[in-house]
Amino acid sequence: MVYSGIIAILIAIWIYRTATDAKISNKFYWVTGSVLFFMLLKIIMINFNVMIIEIFDTDIGDAYDNAGGLNRRDNSDAAGLQTGAGGTLIGILFEILPAIMPFLGIAVLRLLVMLKQPFGFMALFGGLKEMFIAIGDSFKTSDQEATSNNDPEDSK
């Protein structure tokens, strides 16, 4: 969940910078809407993961539930969907997909609805590199900037 919060913050910065660069009004509505859309898609993807697990999970039976095993059943994987090496990969996908798919949804929304541009893979992630460069530059101190501005190599 922590990485999803970080992704949501990066999406907010990305959408704000895009709206500023494209001179779009109501920047904060776009930022708020995109973060809410991200969270909605995240909830949908989590429920999708649960649905996939429930489809492949077998019911152990009523006798198990009556014997007090109802609470332990949620931690079992009777179908073997998440066991072994393949289960490890599926577990990793179940963790990553609820963050990646909403990010892709926001990227498509940004491109097609906000910027009204035709769909293209390179345009889909436009502005991300500049955003990370600007974030990195924001950590520079004034001493580093003054040193780089007074570089004798630049005066030649």
Q: In the chain, which residues have pLDDT < 50?
A: 69, 73, 78-79
Is 38 in contact with 101 (CB distance < 8 Å)?
no
- pTM > 0.75: yes or no: no
The radius of gyration of the chain's CA atoms, rounded to the nearest angstrom, is 23
Instruction: Give me the pLDDT at residue 58, please.
Output: 57
Which among 6, 33, 5, 8 has a CA at the least distance from the CA of 19? 33
Instruction: Give me the pLDDT at residue 128, please.
Output: 85
Instruction: Give me the pLDDT at residue 73, please.
Output: 47
Domain limits, the chain: 2-139
133 CB-side CA count, 13 A: 4
Q: How far is CA 34 from CA 9, 57, 80, 114, 120, in A?
A: 11, 34, 37, 10, 20
Helices marked H in the chain: 2-21, 27-56, 62-64, 70-73, 84-109, 121-124, 128-137, 142-149
